[in-house]
Amino acid sequence: MKMLFGFRGIAVSEPTIYMRWIFLPVIAHWLSWLTGMAGVVLFPVLLTIAQVLILKVYSEAVKPWWWLATLPVTFGCWIYFGPHRYDSAVDPEGYFIRAILIYYIVQCLNSFFLPLVVKENPVPAMIRWFGSVLIAGVCWVIFYYILIRIVPLKTILGYQNWWFGMLLVFPLISLLANALGGLYLIRVRERAHVW
């Protein structure tokens, strides 16, 4: 059975994976930053759990809980290279770009764990996941630079606007970037049955 979801020929399960791809990482971000500085430690854990929930609806994933094997990589890289290592007062633009680049680089590395989760056609699934993360990362950086050229970063993240930036502006950028990256995941998946 097919369902129209703004695109021709997307299977019924694909809107679910697409919506989870868009929203669950942002929800992980929100929940982690609502805990204050503990969010630096909590974010990689919640993000990995969000990705397990994404994989649970992925029709080709036979062992979605094996994605938890990426937690040490995500957690270790985020703690070692993450945003707490840089001074946002000295270089606010660089601070956020480094944090975002670290996030997306680690997620690209994690895509190599996908063969643990997907047993049938693991290489195409890994390429789709990697490509989707890469597209989302590039879109995030582009949207971020467009935004800070229109509205100065001090306006978005001034002392009184910190929560506005962290809990509204940056998640909105993430939603747009995830939406574009997710399109690659579901559109290429549609043609993957030919592989």
Query: 96 exposed, middle or buried (CB, 10 Å; 0-12, 13-18, 19+)?
Result: buried
- 143-157 in b/e form (b: 16+ CB < 10 A) is bbeebbeeeebeebb
Asked if residues 4 and 15 have their Cβ atoms less than 8 Å apart, the reply is: no
Half-sphere exposure of residue 191, counting CA atoms within 13 Å on the CB side?
A: 7
Question: Which residue ranges in the chain fall short of pLDDT 50?
Answer: 1-12, 193-195
| 187 domain residue, yes or no | yes
| 40 domain residue, yes or no | yes
| 153 domain residue, yes or no | yes
pLDDT of residue 37: 78
Report CA-CA distances (Å) from 157 to 16, 149, 151, 162: 33, 14, 10, 4
Q: Please count the structural domains in the chain.
A: 1
pLDDT of residue 11: 46
pLDDT of residue 188: 59
Report CA-CA distances (Å) from 148 to 90, 121, 130, 161, 173: 17, 41, 27, 14, 12
| 1 domain residue, yes or no | no
| 36 domain residue, yes or no | yes
| 2 domain residue, yes or no | no
Provide the domain limits for residue 121: 7-192
Nearest-angstrom CA–CA distance, 77 and 92: 21
pLDDT of residue 40: 83
What pTM did the predictor assign?
0.82
pLDDT of residue 88: 57
pLDDT of residue 86: 59
| 21 domain residue, yes or no | yes
Average pLDDT taken over every residue of the chain: 81
